[in-house]
Amino acid sequence: MTDETIQTTALHALHVELGARMVPFAGYDMPVQYPTGILTEHNWTRENAGLFDVSHMGQVTLRGEDPAKALEALVPGDLQTLKEGRTRYTMFTNADGGILDDLMVTKIDQNTLFVVVNAACKAQDIALMVAGLKGVVDIEVHETRALMALQGPKAKDVMARLAPGSQDMVFLSGKQISVGGLKAFITRSGYTGEDGWEISVAAEDAIPLARALLADLNVKPIGLGARDSLRLEAGLCLYGHDIDTTTSPIEADLKWTISKRRREEGGFPGAATIQKHLAEGTSRLRVGIRPEGRAPAREHTPVYADEALTQKIGEVTSGGFGPTVGGPVAMGYVGTAHASVGTKIFLEVRGKALPATVAALPFTTHNYQR
């Protein structure tokens, strides 16, 4: 990708002003870290409140007579029972039951849904919605809106001051509200395992709102590096790594996202495969992995059942150092026979067998406001 095709978010000038190290990510020039570094940013978010720019993600509003019913034809999630003001995590699936992307859906009212999709997939996701929903619902793509995530245990105190009424919200709920005197749509959600909000605002309001949030001494800007280590410790999938078109929701240990009604009725792409996986199980599963020692196991690290590295059973899909855990953590897929928590496995790192153990997810406790 050339520099000419790299896009910028509404917060780009602020990132540069704050000394961020910028890198290309999903077609955007994004901050990977600020001068204090990834480790400090990670720990700050776990203990205080971190502000993330996630404006590169896609924001879409669906309007119609029953957009929830219409969108159910594209996802296995139960959207028709979603109550007004509530948010649900689900996935676009293909005809083979593979995952095209994961997304968040908020029901604003009976006739309106607000959808957030991943940056790298948003063009294909929007095309998918246009092809599948055109003529049934109106699709508004918010090309110029900004999206920020305020995450961490002190986020609630910051929001209580700048957005009175937000403190009454629970995890996976959304509402229109004023934040720092600026009109916004917020959801009590995020991708760090911590309490927090995602805040959607008009592009021209992005920098003024970010400055208002950062004026609080509990808030610091956080880059993509810490966002990745935070979500990994929280056991949350990253599309294109832990889930993709070759993995079904059941293999990915995401069957909890599919309600009993949707399991029985089907009516979404790949339903037959997913129903078969639910009934008969799968040959592999996504699991947490704790390598021994201090060496991290990176993506694509082979996983073996034996120390001689002769019986390959899977591969790491995400891995790194977990600052909160105090050691290396990873996720990956292993054969179902080796997927039980506590199973001893071996990782091939630099040609040597690194002992590891299948671990329960998440690695750190989720601190959502239920």
3-state secondary structure 320-353: EEECCCCEEEEEEEEEHHHCCCCCEEEEEECCEE
Same domain, residue pair 194 and 260: no
Taking only the tens place, the pLDDT of each residue in 164-207 is 999 999 999 999 999 999 999 999 999 999 999 999 999 999 99
State residue 83's pLDDT score.
Answer: 98
Same domain, residue pair 346 and 207: no
Instruction: Indicate if the pLDDT at residue 138 is higher than 90.
Output: yes
Instruction: Indicate if the pLDDT at residue 1 is higher than 50.
Output: no
State residue 282's pLDDT score.
Answer: 98
Same domain, residue pair 76 and 40: no
Instruction: With residue 228 as reference, give the H or E element that holds it.
Output: helix 224-233
Same domain, residue pair 133 and 168: no
β-partners of residue 330 are 289, 319
Residues 355/288, Cβ–Cβ less than 8 Å: no
Instruction: Indicate if the pLDDT at residue 3 is higher than 90.
Output: no
Identify which of 75, 124, 115, 112 has the alpha carbon closest to the alpha carbon of residue 271: 75
370 domain-assigned: no
Taking only the tens place, the pLDDT of each residue in 276-333 is 999 999 999 999 999 999 999 999 999 999 999 999 999 999 999 999 999 999 999 9
State residue 147's pLDDT score.
Answer: 98
Q: Between β-strands 327-335 and 344-349, what pairing exists: parallel, antiparallel or unpaired?
A: unpaired
- Residue 69, helix vs strand vs coil: helix
Taking only the tens place, the pLDDT of each residue in 93-130 is 999 999 999 999 999 999 999 999 999 999 999 999 99
Instruction: Indicate if the pLDDT at residue 2 is higher than 90.
Output: no
250 domain-assigned: no
Q: Please provide the size of the chain in residues.
A: 370
State residue 370's pLDDT score.
Answer: 87
Report how far residue 235's alpha carbon sits from residue 366's, in angstroms, rounded to the nearest whole number: 10
33 domain-assigned: yes
Residues 51/150, Cβ–Cβ less than 8 Å: yes
The CATH number for 118's domain is 3.30.70.1400
Residues 114/291, Cβ–Cβ less than 8 Å: no
244 domain-assigned: no
Residues 119/27, Cβ–Cβ less than 8 Å: yes
State residue 5's pLDDT score.
Answer: 85
Task: Give the structural domain span for 67.
Answer: 58-141
70 domain-assigned: yes
Same domain, residue pair 289 and 350: yes
Taking only the tens place, the pLDDT of each residue in 206-237 is 999 999 999 999 999 999 999 999 999 999 99
State residue 171's pLDDT score.
Answer: 98
State residue 293's pLDDT score.
Answer: 93
221 domain-assigned: yes
| CA quadruple 217, 223, 224, 228: dihedral, nearest 10 | -40
Same domain, residue pair 274 and 348: yes
Same domain, residue pair 136 and 157: no
30 domain-assigned: yes
Q: What is the mean pLDDT of the chain?
A: 97
CA atoms within a 13 Å half-sphere pointing along the CA-CB vector of 11 = 31
Q: Where a domain ends, among 233, 263, 295?
A: 233
Residues 117/57, Cβ–Cβ less than 8 Å: yes
Question: In the structure encoding, which two tokens stand for residue 108, read together?
Answer: 């604003």
Neighbours of 344 (CB within 10 A): 13
The CATH number for 203's domain is 3.30.1360.120
Report how far residue 341's alpha carbon sits from residue 361's, in angstroms, rounded to the nearest whole number: 9
175 domain-assigned: yes
Same domain, residue pair 184 and 315: no
Same domain, residue pair 63 and 39: no
- The pTM assigned to this predicted structure is 0.96
Same domain, residue pair 260 and 123: no
The CATH number for 309's domain is 2.40.30.110
Residue 202 exposed, middle or buried by CB count within 10 Å (0-12, 13-18, 19+): middle
State residue 369's pLDDT score.
Answer: 93
Identify which of 94, 105, 51 has the alpha carbon closest to the alpha carbon of residue 222: 51
Residues 332/286, Cβ–Cβ less than 8 Å: yes
Sheet of 87-93: strand order equals: 87-93, 99-109, 112-117, 58-64, 137-141
State residue 4's pLDDT score.
Answer: 58
Alpha helices in 87-149 (DSSP H): 122-133
Report how far residue 41's alpha carbon sits from residue 99's, in angstroms, rounded to the nearest whole number: 31
Q: Which residue has the tokens 């009109």?
A: 183
Same domain, residue pair 324 and 337: yes
Same domain, residue pair 123 and 181: no
Q: Where a domain ends, among 141, 157, 176?
A: 141
Question: In the structure encoding, which two tokens stand for residue 256, read together?
Answer: 């909890």
Taking only the tens place, the pLDDT of each residue in 7-24 is 999 999 999 999 999 999
Question: In the structure encoding, which two tokens stand for residue 12, read together?
Answer: 């780009």
Structurally, the chain folds into a number of domains equal to: 3
Taking only the tens place, the pLDDT of each residue in 141-166 is 999 999 999 999 999 999 999 999 99
